[in-house]
Amino acid sequence: MDRILIVDDEIEIGQLLEICLKNEGYDVTIETDGQKALENICQNEYDLALLDIMLPHVTGLELCQKIRERYFYPVIMLTAKNMDSDKIIGLTMGADDYITKPFNPLEVLARVKTQLRRYKKYNQANDDVIEIRGLSIDDAKHKCYLFEKELNLTPLEFNIILYLMKNRGKVVSSEELFEAVWQEKYFDSNNTVMAHIARIREKMKEPARNPQYIKTVWGIGYTIE
């Protein structure tokens, strides 16, 4: 069942969309406050988000930006504004579609179905692609992207990321990673893995002390969560 997040401070609109979407079999969550919605987005994964632009505490545009830092699922903006500049800003921040209030709930439903269909078709067509919070790797094409920007990796760096992503959530020891990627016996004094991880983080522009992707578990190894 597809999970949809609706964020709109107009309760009646949220409830109307909820009824319409639930009747089509979707699992719907409603938030009316931007800050609470941000907390929800950070804690849960959805298949699509409907975001009002004008929200208390955190705007819909800011929420869209936060979603794009971690996820690729479709985002549809809802707003009473009809300014081209607002549409441009929303699309620039990563929104997939834009609906101006007042709207017909059936139109919203149709656009939701269209966006979900495109999203699923893309994912199903890329079985060789692994994606984690904006970091994606295509094993077949031997390419790696961070928010759609290709990373210039060496073959060894590519294989390190690929192995960690295939073992998502698991802490991989330096020994295991070295022997899997280099196909050689690991020695305790070998700092090769550490050096390559450091170069990968530089190319991803990741802070060494607080990386968002390849995390160091001191005394054990590395993990991508």
pLDDT for 117-127, tens place per residue?
A: 887 766 654 55
pLDDT at residue number 85: 63
The CATH H-level (homologous superfamily) assignment of domain 3-124 is Response regulator (3.40.50.2300)
| Whether the model pTM is above 0.95 | no
pLDDT at residue number 197: 92
Question: pLDDT per residue over 10-21, tens digit each?
Answer: 999 999 999 999
CA-to-CA separations, 198 to 62, 169, 216, in angstroms, rounded? 31, 20, 11
What class does CATH assign to 129-224? mainly alpha
Question: Residue 54 — left, alpha, or beta (φ > 0 → left; ψ -120 to 50 → alpha)?
Answer: beta
pLDDT at 26 exceeding the cut of 90 = yes
Per-residue pLDDT, averaged over 79-90, amounts to 67
Res. 84 pLDDT band, cuts 50 70 90 = low
Q: What is the DSSP letter of 191?
A: -
Share of residues in the chain with pLDDT > 90 (%): 45
Q: What is the mean pLDDT of the chain?
A: 87
* Residue 205: Cβ-neighbour burial (10 angstroms; 0-12, 13-18, 19+): exposed
Domain boundaries, the chain: 3-124, 129-224
